[in-house]
Structure 1
Amino acid sequence: MNGKAAPRTAGDGSTRTRLERGRTALGPALELVHTGRAPTRAVLTTQLRVTRATAGAVAAELEALGLIRVDARPTAPAGSHGRPSHRLSLDPDGPVTLAAQVHADGYRAALVGLGGRIVATSPGCEIVEPDPAHVLGAVVDAGIGLLRATGRRCVGAGLAVPSAVAEPEGTALNPLHLAWPAGSPVREIFTDRVREAGLDVPAFTGNDINLMALAEHRHGAGRGAGHLLCVATGHRGVGGALVLDGRLHTGSSGLALEVGHLTVNPEGRPCFCGSRGCLDVETDPLAFLAEAGRAPGPEDSLLKQANDLIAEEPDSPGVRAAVEALTDRLGLGLAGLVNILNPDRIILGGLHRTLFEADPERLRAVVADRSLWGRSGSVPILAAALDHNSLVGAGELAWQPTLDDPLSTLAGH
């Protein structure tokens, strides 16, 4: 599936000498361009703390690898009197990663380029069978179809699943809203399906909310945050993630931030964990429909039904009461997390984003009132900015080896 020709290597001997001096800067340089923090060669020089010549050699090598483009004509920003600099951009025809996501209401494959750009997506499938091997085989096949249709070179594969993923085994410990056995070896199955499809690339698996957080931190509403907390409810259940200094905090074995089992309504609904009133069952789409007095229908996903109800009937007494009740419960949960984690930004996804956008001041007030530092610290709460952010995050996971060492990953292949 690697449809592109083998990359070139950068120019003459002097360029090569400069590149050897700065070879360890290739990965950091690519990440700076990938995340939009180095739009010009001058900024790249400053961020890497290298000479202009070394930055030029690094940029030339990344261009030769088919990852970025260097504008041949340097330009100065409007109103600037400084020296013009070559603009850097991501190669729109460059390699991609195969990203896959499975959730309670279906699965989908996509191709994700640098910059978090979704290049192509497959039609979503709405039936998740109880055999994970069958589902993961089908979603990989869908990704292979996208690669064939686009002719893109693939450098890795990533999978997002709605479950805690234990490390280092790569097992889905609690796919509660899928009919999969607890402890399914999803990473092993996914890797095998990728290999069987003829892709000789590394394959990775992660929790969907962790991958949402990674994508939002690099390309969305979380850019620039040092301690980023993400909380989201998609099709069923609630998940959380924490990004510290640019890296996911997954704990000692990949199981950190299981925020869905914070109690926010002690007399509330029974939870799958054995407790009652957990965030997981008190603030997800099914809880919203129940609170609004609406029976879930068979035609659309629970998330779409809940979002559509809020958009189409915002003044209905039942809908308004449900928005207020779930917002208050979500605020209690977030306040507890603020007290424990002291984040500098909170991002909400899925139905939580919709609830926040419906009444942002109510949620902020609950968090401020119930958190130790809420009134003085005022932690910013933002809506997630990216569509399909867990898919983008799965792509990010697969891009990481190339971001770490692009020359070793791509040269000669």
Structure 2
Amino acid sequence: MSGKADPRAAGEGTTSRTRLDRGRGALGPALELVHTGRAPTRAVLTAELGVTRATAGAVAAELEALGLIRVDARPGAAAGSQGRPSHRLSVAEDGPVALAAQVHADGFRAALVGLGGRIVATAPGCEVVDADPAKVLGSVVETGAQLLRETGRRCVGAGLAVPSAVAEPDGLALNPLHLAWPAGAPVREIFAQQVRAAGIEGPAFAANDVNLAALAEHRHGAGRGARDLLCVATGHRGVGGALVLDGRLHTGSSGLALEVGHLTVNPAGRPCYCGSHGCLDVETDPLAFLTAAGREPGPEVSLLQQSYDLIREHYADPAVRAATETLIDRLGLGLAGLVNILNPDRVVLGGLHRALLDADPERLRAVVADRSLWGQSGGVPILPCGLDHNSLVGAAELAWQPVLDDPLGVPA
């Protein structure tokens, strides 16, 4: 047997390395395509990236070697199909995770979220939120750290969703009114300090909860495929909005865009924290619904859960139905104004607003159509959010973004 190297083998190795070198710039775009479900096979990946089949194969193999995706080289053929089926691509179920956390007026929740927006583990926190953000965020991070210890997963970073406008570039929570936190609390810095103190690897981020819900819905939920997506939601208190334009979250010059809660929908209505009257924030949130239905809010469960239960279990009650219709009309008026200004190609509603849409979709769509130019030209789709914990998934997207930008930087 000759001791000389086979020149064909050497050539194949060189060619393989050349393909991978050419494809390194495509690693991030390729991972994002798999992450968002837009490239379920290698054939689709090849077409989306505009590269050769061999280069797409090298890119997929590298992402698999990094523990980020799985490549099924022998998938079963669909019934009636001809030819060899393309390799199937999916996120790695046992891959790294991001630590995600959400704080709201009735407590917090921590979760571990993998690629694809898949929640791997989750844990609720306290039901009373302390007025000291450092104390609350310390508990949040400790809960997340415990999940990481229990699962043994690699962590790429951490993201936090808060019910407040978060000003850029400093990450200040400007109006955490329902948390009793001081205005301008440096939540991103505090969260990052707690993450480092817990020994959790990766960068830490913080943003408004509805902005993050919109991001998650656009990548993994009811907003997937939309070009200009408007998201409006009410959680435990207040109303928020967010806009995704051409696939990117629109936050304005300093992170404060789309404060839709302060659109006036009832000039003779309740006083709002902003100084006006009858804003969406105080006319279409759970407290407004319970008040309109003549129900005294109880301390047992959250205002949001009380509202859900009322609609689901007592919708036949005339007072509950009337309250639902009143809030639908106010919400529809606000949505019509937003549609006239923003001209989105899709609207998704979350929290109590999703429940209002489910209760009487035709009424809400009719109000928007009657008050907007879009309605006169065919209407804009109004859909319920598709993810149960979209703000958590969106918080994880913040931590996953550096990996999507540069998969080679994923922690070993």
Whether TM-score is above 0.5 comes out as yes
Partner of 2:135: 134
Q: What SS does the aligned partner of 2:178 have? A: coil
After TM superposition, the score normalised by the length of structure 2 is 0.96
Match for 1:127: what amino acid?
V
Match for 1:353: what amino acid?
R
Partner of 1:305: 306
Partner of 2:78: 77
Q: CA deviation at 1:328?
A: 0.1
Partner of 1:5: none
Alignment of 1:10-159 (within 5 A): 12-159=13-160
Partner of 2:179: 178
Q: CA deviation at 1:373?
A: 2.2
Conservation of the 8 A alpha-carbon contact between 2:98 and 2:156: yes
Q: Per-residue CA shift, 1:28-63, capped at 9, x if unaligned?
A: 000100111111111110110000110000000000
Q: CA deviation at 1:67?
A: 0.5
Conservation of the 8 A alpha-carbon contact between 1:230 and 1:241: yes
Q: CA deviation at 1:108?
A: 1.0
Based on CA coordinates, which of the two structures has the bigger radius of gyration? 2
Conservation of the 8 A alpha-carbon contact between 1:75 and 1:85: no
Partner of 1:383: 384
* Partner Cα separation in structure 2 for residue 13 and residue 211 of structure 1: 44
Q: Per-residue CA shift, 1:306-364, capped at 9, x if unaligned?
A: 11001110110110110000000000000000000000000000000000100000000
Conservation of the 8 A alpha-carbon contact between 1:236 and 1:286: yes
Q: CA deviation at 1:75?
A: 4.3
* Partner Cα separation in structure 1 for residue 293 and residue 409 of structure 2: 55
* Partner Cα separation in structure 1 for residue 285 and residue 332 of structure 2: 14
Q: Per-residue CA shift, 1:199-223, capped at 9, x if unaligned?
A: 2311110100000000111110000
Partner of 1:292: 293
Q: Structure 2: any 5+ residue segments left out of the alignment?
A: 1-11
Instruction: Give RMSD over aligned pairs.
Output: 1.1
Q: CA deviation at 1:122?
A: 1.1
Conservation of the 8 A alpha-carbon contact between 2:231 and 2:243: yes
Conservation of the 8 A alpha-carbon contact between 2:73 and 2:86: no
Q: What SS does the aligned partner of 1:109 have? A: strand
**2:356 aligned with 1:355:** yes
Q: Per-residue CA shift, 1:255-300, capped at 9, x if unaligned?
A: 0000000000000000000100000000000000000000000100
**2:246 aligned with 1:241:** no
Alignment of 1:165-204 (within 5 A): 165-204=166-205
Q: What SS does the aligned partner of 1:363 have? A: helix
* Partner Cα separation in structure 1 for residue 174 and residue 297 of structure 2: 27
Q: CA deviation at 1:245?
A: 1.3
Alignment of 1:300-379 (within 5 A): 300-379=301-380
**2:268 aligned with 1:262:** no
Partner of 2:7: none
Q: Per-residue CA shift, 1:132-175, capped at 9, x if unaligned?
A: 00000100000000000000000010000000000001000000
Q: Per-residue CA shift, 1:208-260, capped at 9, x if unaligned?
A: 00000001111100000000000000000000000011110000000000000
Q: Structure 1: any 5+ residue segments left out of the alignment?
A: 1-10
